[in-house]
Amino acid sequence: MDLMKVVENEFSVKNDLPAFSSGDTVTVHYKIKEGNKERIQQFRGVVLQRKGIASTETFTVRKMSGNTGVERIFPVNSPFIEKIDINKKGSVRRARIYYFRKLTGKKARIKEKRF
């Protein structure tokens, strides 16, 4: 197993990302390559979960696009993530807020964390 950890550490891409957790509203600036062009797309939504450890860690962001919910899973150590902005810190009691998918309207609000 030590050999696997050595290889993971050698090839891992470290991003200096801010500390965020489920319930937070974030904007992910993601690089997209289309042919020979490259652009940065912003995906703003609520973090539903953070999952995995070390190089396999991912997080899921959900946003409403019109009337449709759109979820996207991002690897934390992805070289395509330019930066992550935290717009709001949410106060939730769970690490994975899947119940948020069913909520609409005023019920879908997350209480903001007080500092």
Alpha carbon distance 78, 52 (integer Å): 14
pLDDT at res. 13: 65
Question: How many Å apart are CA 89 and CA 26, to the nearest integer?
Answer: 9
> What pLDDT score was predicted for residue 53?
84
Domain boundaries, the chain: 2-92
What number is the average pLDDT over the span 1-5? 77
**Averaged pLDDT score across all residues of the chain:** 89
* Percent of the chain with pLDDT strictly greater than 70: 96
Query: Judging by beta carbons within 10 Å of its beta carbon (0-12, 13-18, 19+), is residue 35 exposed, middle or buried?
Result: exposed
Going from the C-alpha of 2 to that of each of 6, 8, 38, 54, the distances in angstroms are: 6, 10, 37, 15
Q: What pLDDT does residue 42 have?
A: 96
Choose between 64 and 11: higher pLDDT.
Answer: 64
Q: What CATH number has the domain spanning 2-92?
A: 2.30.30.790
Tell me the β-bridge partners of 57: none
What is the pLDDT averaged over residues 86-111?
90
